[in-house]
Amino acid sequence: MENTTIVLIELGAVFLGLGMLGRIAARFGMSPVPLYLLGGLMFGHGGLIPLSRIEEFGHIASELGVVLLLLMLGLEYTARELVTGLKRSWVAGVVDLLLNFTPGAALALMLGWGYAGAMVLGGVTYISSSGIIAKVLSDLGRLGNRETPVILSILVLEDLAMAVYLPILTATLAGVSFWGGLRAVGVALLAVTLVLLLALRFGPVISRLVHSPDRENFLLKLIGAALLVSGLAAALQVSAAVGAFLLGIAISGSTAHSAAKVLEPLRDLFAAMFFVLFGINTDPTTIPPVFLLALGLAVLTSATKIATGVWAAKQAGIGVPGRLRAGTALIARGEFSIVIAGLAVASGAVGSELAALATTYVMLLAVLGPVATRYAEPLARALVRKPPAPNPAAPPAPA
pLDDT tens digits for range 306-360: 999 999 999 888 888 889 999 999 998 877 788 788 778 777 767 778 888 988 8
Percent of the chain whose predicted confidence (pLDDT) is above 90: 14
**Confidence grade of residue 106 (pLDDT, cut at 50, 70, 90):** very high
Q: What is the pLDDT of residues 214-239, one digit of tens each?
A: 888 888 998 898 888 888 877 766 66
> How far is residue 328's CA from residue 369's CA, in Å, rounded to a whole number?
7
Given a cut of 90, whether residue 292 has pLDDT beyond it is: yes
In angstroms, the CA 353 to CA 53 distance is 24
Mean of per-residue pLDDT scores for the chain: 79
Q: Is pLDDT above 70 for 392? A: no
| 12-16, 100-104, 204-208, 380-384, range with the lowest pLDDT | 380-384
DSSP label at residue 53: T
CB 341 within 8 A of CB 124: yes
Rounded Cα gap, residues 155 and 153, in angstroms: 5
Query: Taking 90 as the threshold, does the pLDDT of residue 369 lie above it?
Result: no
pLDDT at residue 271 is higher than 70 = yes
Q: Classify 44 as helix, strand or coil.
A: coil
Instruction: Report which of residues 5 and 281 the model is more confident about.
Output: 5
Tell me the pLDDT band of 35, cut-offs 50, 70 and 90: confident
Side chain identity at 66, as an amino acid letter? V
pLDDT tens sequence across 148-182: 888 878 887 887 787 678 777 877 777 666 566 66
Residue 87: pLDDT band (50, 70, 90) is confident
pLDDT at 82: 65
Of 13-22, 188-197, 257-266, least confident by mean pLDDT is: 188-197
**Quick one: pLDDT at residue 309?**
93
pLDDT of residue 310: 93
Are 246 and 195 within 8 A, CB to CB? yes
Q: Looking at per-residue confidence, does 270 or 351 come out higher? A: 270
Cα 89 to the center of its chain, rounded Å? 19
> Is 86's pLDDT higher than 70?
no
Output the CA–CA distances (angstroms, integers) from residue 14 to 7, 39, 53, 321, in the order listed: 10, 9, 12, 42
Least confident range of 118-132, 255-269, 273-287: 273-287
Q: Could you tell me which of 286, 273, 238 has the C-alpha nearest to residue 39?
A: 273
Per-residue model confidence (pLDDT) at position 124: 93
Mean predicted confidence (pLDDT) in 283-302 = 90
Distance CA 111, CA 219 (A): 46
- The stretches of the chain forming alpha helices (DSSP H) are 3-27, 33-42, 55-75, 79-110, 114-126, 130-139, 148-174, 178-210, 215-235, 240-250, 253-280, 287-315, 320-329, 335-347, 352-384
* Domains, in order of start, for the chain: 7-382 (1.20.1530.20)
- pLDDT category at 280 given cuts 50, 70, 90 is confident
